[in-house]
Amino acid sequence: MGGKTEIYQRMQAARQAGRKALAVLIDPDKATDQHLERVVGLGVDAQVDFFFVGGSLVVKDELARCLAFLRSHCAIPAILFPGSPLQIDEQADALLFLSLISGRNADLLIGQQVVSAPYLYQSSLEVISVGYMLVDGGAPTTASYMSNTLPIPADKPDIALATALAGEMLGLKTLYLDAGSGARQPVSETMIRKVAQHVTVPLMAGGGIRRPEQAWASAQAGADIIVVGTAVEQSAELLGEMAEAVHRCRAGRINTREM
């Protein structure tokens, strides 16, 4: 099956060059036009790499409006980060095709993907598969509750590594360590480093990153794409500092077979 690969190639090229990327997560339910205008303006100035759009629970019908706004106001790629097969819209550039590999909920491992695959096949969207791993961030999050799965314990990097390796061996094109939106603690540097040292696909990390130094530390530990949502929702001004912190980090990945 062919299909578009432009965004994925961009992710891979950045990873190979040791160039870190910032993705700003926009929850369409919460993003008023005024907020979007601000985030887009600051995002363009700060050279934000991607906008991720979606959420674990989207209750209003604002996705199309949000994507139309992004499309007409900037050239930063808009990538769907869907909480359900309902969140598909061809105005986006790509879609993260998530399989919740940290959980044992068959519906989120393969069930919902089977429902959405025929629609995606006929759409113009670039589909990027993601081995999605929820990590305990100190309290239940919407993602952990809605997915009805146990997150990976925060202090078990070996479990995260084994899960990530399985995901890569199954052919998933990217991996995502997520403490969940609004997590009390972000994914630890130890866990990110452990995974980053052994996988070769682009690695995303997010959930609970509130300060630029945390974004920098996650990138320095080996994440290629840092995802920030809540902090920018609460204070759009942080966006410039977040982007600066992530782009300043140049840590390449050192792969090892030593476990």
The one segment of 38-46, 103-111, 113-121, 200-208 that binds ligand 1GP by CB under 6 A: 200-208
Cβ closest to ligand 1GP, residue 234 vs residue 255:
234
H helices within the chain, ranges in order?
A: 6-17, 33-46, 63-73, 106, 112-122, 142-147, 157-169, 189-196, 212-220, 230-234, 238-248
Residue closer to ligand 1GP (CB basis): 32 or 124: 32
Closest CA to 97 of 208, 84, 106: 84
- 134 contributes a contact to ligand 1GP by CB under 6 A: no
Residue nearest to ligand 1GP (CB): 206
Binding ligand 1GP by CB under 6 A: which of 183, 196, 199, 236? 183
Residue 228 engages ligand 1GP in binding (rule: CB under 6 A): yes
Q: Is 93 in the site for ligand 1GP (CB under 6 A)?
A: no
- Nearest Cα neighbor of 160 from 182, 179, 138, 141 is 179
Among 87, 144, 220, 230, binds ligand 1GP (CB under 6 A): 230
Smallest distance from ligand 1GP to CB 192, Å: 13
Vertex 254, ends 23 and 133: CA angle to 5°? 45
The burial of 1, by beta-carbon neighbours within 10 Å (0-12 exposed, 13-18 middle, 19 or more buried), is given as: exposed
Question: Residue 30: helix, strand or coil by DSSP?
Answer: coil
Which CB, 28 or 180, lies closer to ligand 1GP? 180
- The residues that touch ligand 1GP, with contacts defined as CB under 6 A, are 25, 178, 180-183, 206-209, 227-231
